[in-house]
Amino acid sequence: MGRGRHRGRSQRKHFKESRENVWKRPRTDPTVDASDNAVADKPSWEPILTDNPNFEEYYKEQGLVRAEEWDVFMEILRKPLPAAFRVNSNSQFCDDIISILENDFVKSLQAEAIEGGELEAIKPLPWYPKNLAWHSNFSRKQIRKHKTLERFHEFLKLENEVGNITRQEAVSMVPPLFLDVHPDHFVLDMCAAPGSKTFQLLEIIHGASEPGTLPNGMVVANDVDFQRSNLLIHQTKRMCTSNLIVTNHEGQQFPGCRLNKSRASEKGLSEDMPINQLSFDRVLCDVPCSGDGTLRKAPDIWRKWNSGMGNGLHSLQVILAMRGLSLLKVGGKMIYSTCSMNPVEDEAVVAEILRRCGDSVELVDVSDKLPELIRRPGLKTWKVRDKGAWFTSYKDVPQNRRGGVLVSMFPFGKNLKETSETTEENENENENVGCKETDKSVVDAIPDEPVVEVSDLPLERCMRIIPHDQNTGAFFIAVLRKVSPLPEFQEKPNPRKHSSNKTADSTEKSPAEEAVVTADAEPVESPVEKVIEADADIEKDVSLVEPEKEKNTEGETIKEEKEANSSSHAGDKRKVPMQGKWKGFDPVVFLKDETLIDSIKEFYGIRDESFPLYGHLVTRNTDTSSVKRIYYVSKSVKEVLQLNFAVAQQLKIASVGLKMFERQTAKEGGSKPCSFRISSEGLPVILPYITKQVLYSPMADFKHLLEYKSIKFPDFVNKQLGQKAIDLVLGCCVVILSDGEEPVKVDASTIAISCWRGKNSLGVMVTSADCQELLERLAERTPKTEVGSVNGSYGDSGGPAEPMETA
């Protein structure tokens, strides 16, 4: 006992000491032999730099925090970010997960928290509804590295993998909460990767729907980067939703898919099309930014940061926000957000889009929402820094710098000198030329007098989250409402202002991008929209095309794809894909093979009137005989796909719908009535409508299936269950956990798994992680005397897996 207590104290002492060293990295010197004894006298790590004089000067000058707060502000920025996570409100084990956190980890981790000088190890975020979001006082690295937190780490890993929780920075959870999403809304997430906010939006849409029904709304999650799109798909796959489309476009060129009415009528499509353009009730525009709000999570930013990063992204951010507003329905809301503290990326962008949109867009006051979330009002005045010089007004910017310092970066957003000249000229339009020249010379004297610009827009309605207020990262959020169609004509920035901007992150807009900014997605077409959308239904996409990637062997093209948000290729000519198809992407095709669909319906006993399959199944292969996976799409996604076909496939779709059926080949051979099994992702959606190939298993046999992965028919504890399994047709089946042998009413709490009825045994068709997670949940519900051989500790993988009889 004494040795055990000593070991525990030693571990906690080591943990306490290492809390101060979580931002250390190995010091590597290739010239020194690792076997040299002298190395033993040198430390094996060195601190990551958490100091940048330019950063401190910049934000002191901007007045982001009061002078008396500055030291606390900088101190918290130099500390690692505490880990946070969110419980999936739609998980059938949501209440179980929260109970484990409240009754287990809150108490078991308390000793480590006290040793580290904290009052609580983990706690729910006070501003997030229903205790669904949690904050820990340990960084992700601490959780990953320290033995005392190993059980907690294993819990987080497992529940995240199966979709019961999402590991997400606390401030990143905020924007969807202010978007006010309803279950019938069409939502666009413009820059969605890695997907945590998309997952959150899907939770809200599904959570507000009637139990047992699919929402009428949907989410389109877009990202420009192909690799990040794959991460987005992996993240959202855990949600098991048929109400999602993942696309791969530049956000500023996201297609509106407007169907030309006259040509649609000629093709006979008008009566069959529920929607004739792609517009959204809600838009989340979480734009690319310099990211200095994530310093605590990504300390390498300390070394890289400079004020030019924000200046270079300003134009792109404005373009993205304007495109988001053009795709927004009248009455809809858009969130503009960044993980940057820089007013040039934050308030300046909001001010510019308000100026461009006039009275058609309003900045919404949400100060009464989420009162426990501490945030600060947006700034009304700020300065712009470029190459070591500070500017308080655009009139002070020399001509040779106006390519990199834009008028839209300033609070007024217009040239005071030019405005004054225009005013003088209007007042003296009947005067002679000499008087005008005299007045102009007076105005030219203005630059000698410093002017501090203060915006007359209600920018205080924006919100900025500051790290030391609630021990988080930093974030900026603005809520915008579209009250009327955008103006048809807007002032376009002078192209000259972009041409001389040579910073790495600068963005020069091409004429096509200018057109996108002014295009409005309302039913009344503006002249710009007519140019962009007029030929949308012909066999090639004129307005919105991108270069081939990933499967293209030319490195130059791949590089363009990875730098799509940069100005380096903004003016490049784009290749037009033939026949409206995107190279490198498999086509999305509605499954129309009635023989195949009927065989699936008959095999599983699915009545089409209760769960329609016709018109809701799609594949990524035009050859039915080669189809490997079949996806189910909701009514809303189906309508968008129909529109996309009608406009020559303008949407570049990376993923769509929910994988419902997958082709399966049995090792034992022989013909089967149905070659498609039900996927684990699709099972929760289709389960209430399956009437054949169903087994109801008591707890003991259900656990044995999860533990051993395969059970021979004679080895079932319940012999009647074994006989019923023999009576099933060879192929996929569903095993439902039941207290008895009679059918149970399927609801959200029903636990079921896909299995394969082989020649001599029954084998599970779910992942090892899903098996382990179910064993954990069932172990908590089972009295200890009944647990038997089922291992319920985190980190173990259960019993040995016997070979399955399926490929």
pLDDT confidence band for 579 (50 / 70 / 90)? very low
Q: Would you say 735 and 743 are in contact if contact means Cβ atoms under 8 Å apart?
A: no
Can you tell me the distance from the alpha carbon of 390 to that of 383, in angstroms, rounded to the nearest whole number?
7
Long-range contacts of 203-209 (CB under 8 A, 24+ apart): 203/88, 203/89, 203/90, 203/239, 204/176, 205/181, 205/243, 206/90, 206/239, 206/241, 206/243, 207/89, 207/90, 208/181, 208/182, 208/183, 209/183
Q: Would you say 112 and 148 are in contact if contact means Cβ atoms under 8 Å apart?
A: yes
Tell me: is residue 193 an annotated ligand-binding position.
yes
Is a pLDDT exceeding 80 seen at residue 593? yes
The structure's pTM equals 0.80
pLDDT at position 492: 43
pLDDT in tens, 724-737: 999 999 999 999 99
What is the chain's alpha carbon radius of gyration, rounded to the nearest angstrom? 30
Looking at the chain, the whole-number percentage of residues with pLDDT higher than 90 is 59
Strand partners, 619: 589
Three-state secondary structure string covering 552-564: CCCHHHHHHHHCC
Is a pLDDT exceeding 60 seen at residue 34? no
Residue ranges of alpha helices (H) inside 48-109 are 53-62, 70-77, 94-100, 106-108
Which CATH number is associated with domain 169-189+253-414+454-480? Answer: 3.40.50
Taking alpha carbons only, the member of 207, 508, 198, 459 closest to residue 354 is 459
- Element housing 231 (H / E): helix 226-237
Tell me: is residue 608 an annotated ligand-binding position.
no
pLDDT at position 783: 55
Is a pLDDT exceeding 80 seen at residue 280? yes
CA 505 from chain centre, in angstroms, equals 23
CA angle 589, 590, 596 (to 5 degrees): 115
Looking at the chain, the whole-number percentage of residues with pLDDT higher than 70 is 71
Q: Which region, left, alpha or beta, applies to residue 795 given φ > 0 means left and ψ of -120 to 50 means alpha?
A: left
Can you tell me the distance from the alpha carbon of 109 to that of 104, in angstroms, rounded to the nearest whole number?
8
**Selected residue with higher pLDDT from 567 and 12:** 12
pLDDT at position 669: 54
Taking alpha carbons only, the member of 514, 177, 222 closest to residue 372 is 177
DSSP E strands, 249-393 = 280-286, 328-338, 361-363, 376-377, 384-386, 389-391
pLDDT at position 363: 98
Tell me: is residue 755 an annotated ligand-binding position.
no
- Element housing 805 (H / E): none
Q: Is 94 an annotated catalytic residue?
A: no
**Selected residue with higher pLDDT from 613 and 558:** 613
pLDDT at position 510: 35
pLDDT at position 31: 41
pLDDT confidence band for 661 (50 / 70 / 90)? very high
pLDDT at position 110: 82
731-746 burial, b if ≥16 CB within 10 A, otherwise e? bbbbbbbbeeeeeeeb
Average of per-residue pLDDT values in the chain = 79
Residue in 94, 240, 289, 339 annotated catalytic = 339
**Selected residue with higher pLDDT from 586 and 359:** 359
- Element housing 435 (H / E): helix 433-443
Tell me: is residue 196 an annotated ligand-binding position.
yes
pLDDT confidence band for 660 (50 / 70 / 90)? very high
171 to 72, 223, 347: CA distances (angstroms): 19, 21, 18
Tell me: is residue 192 an annotated ligand-binding position.
yes
pLDDT at position 48: 75
Point out the least confidently predicted range of 51-60, 135-144, 167-176, 562-571.
562-571
Is a pLDDT exceeding 90 seen at residue 261? no
pLDDT at position 556: 35
10 Å Cβ neighbour count for 228?
Answer: 17
Residue ranges of alpha helices (H) inside 365-427 are 416-427
Q: Would you say 222 and 247 are in contact if contact means Cβ atoms under 8 Å apart?
A: yes
Strand partners, 630: 661
Can you tell me the distance from the alpha carbon of 282 to that of 335, in angstroms, rounded to the nearest whole number?
8
Can you tell me the distance from the alpha carbon of 420 to that of 435, in angstroms, rounded to the nearest whole number?
15
Can you tell me the distance from the alpha carbon of 206 to that of 218, in angstroms, rounded to the nearest whole number?
9
Q: Which region, left, alpha or beta, applies to residue 291 given φ > 0 means left and ψ of -120 to 50 means alpha?
A: left
pLDDT at position 208: 78
Q: Would you say 164 and 773 are in contact if contact means Cβ atoms under 8 Å apart?
A: yes
DSSP conformation class of 785? H
pLDDT at position 722: 93
First and final CA of the chain: distance in angstroms? 51
Is a pLDDT exceeding 70 seen at residue 444? no
Tell me: is residue 223 an annotated ligand-binding position.
yes
Can you tell me the distance from the alpha carbon of 350 to that of 771, in angstroms, rounded to the nearest whole number?
48
Strand partners, 761: 712
Taking alpha carbons only, the member of 641, 587, 590 closest to residue 614 is 590
371-395 burial, b if ≥16 CB within 10 A, otherwise e? eebebeebbbbbbbbbeeeebbbbb
Q: Would you say 587 and 581 are in contact if contact means Cβ atoms under 8 Å apart?
A: yes
Taking alpha carbons only, the member of 148, 193, 187 closest to residue 13 is 148
Tell me which residue has tokens 């039913």.
Answer: 523
pLDDT confidence band for 269 (50 / 70 / 90)? low
Is a pLDDT exceeding 60 seen at residue 625? yes
pLDDT in tens, 752-799: 999 999 999 999 999 999 999 999 999 877 654 444 333 333 333 333
Is a pLDDT exceeding 90 seen at residue 338? yes
636 to 64, 188, 607, 805: CA distances (angstroms): 44, 13, 21, 39
Return the biggest CA–CA distance within the chain.
108
**Selected residue with higher pLDDT from 784 and 97:** 97
Q: If you average pLDDT over residues 404-420, what whole number do you get?
A: 79
Residues with Cβ within 8 Å of residue 175, at least 6 apart in sequence: 197, 284, 286, 335, 337, 475, 477
Taking alpha carbons only, the member of 178, 82, 78 closest to residue 476 is 178
CA angle 469, 471, 474 (to 5 degrees): 75
Can you tell me the distance from the alpha carbon of 526 to that of 562, in angstroms, rounded to the nearest whole number?
32
Can you tell me the distance from the alpha carbon of 242 to that of 560, in angstroms, rounded to the nearest whole number?
32
pLDDT in tens, 670-708: 556 788 999 999 999 999 999 999 999 999 999 999 999
Is a pLDDT exceeding 60 seen at residue 37? no
pLDDT confidence band for 668 (50 / 70 / 90)? low
pLDDT at position 805: 37
For the residues of 476-541, what is the DSSP string, one character each? EEEEEEE-SPPPSS-PPPPTHHHHT--STT--PPPHHHHHHHH---SSS--HHHHHHHTTTTSSS-
Q: Residue 731 phi/psi, 5° resolution?
A: 140, -160
Q: Would you say 321 and 276 are in contact if contact means Cβ atoms under 8 Å apart?
A: no
Can you tell me the distance from the alpha carbon of 551 to that of 554, in angstroms, rounded to the nearest whole number?
9
Point out the least confidently predicted range of 224-228, 348-352, 357-361, 443-447.
443-447
Q: Sign of torsion, CA 721 722 725 731?
A: positive
661-694 burial, b if ≥16 CB within 10 A, otherwise e? bbebebeeeeebebbbbbbbbbbbbbbebbeebb
Taking alpha carbons only, the member of 802, 793, 792 closest to residue 764 is 802
10 Å Cβ neighbour count for 107?
Answer: 10
pLDDT confidence band for 745 (50 / 70 / 90)? confident
Is a pLDDT exceeding 60 seen at residue 534? no
Residue ranges of alpha helices (H) inside 341-390 are 347-357
pLDDT in tens, 423-432: 445 445 544 4
Can you tell me the distance from the alpha carbon of 515 to that of 803, in angstroms, rounded to the nearest whole number?
59
Domain ranges of the chain: 81-167, 169-189+253-414+454-480, 692-780
Position 205, amino acid: I
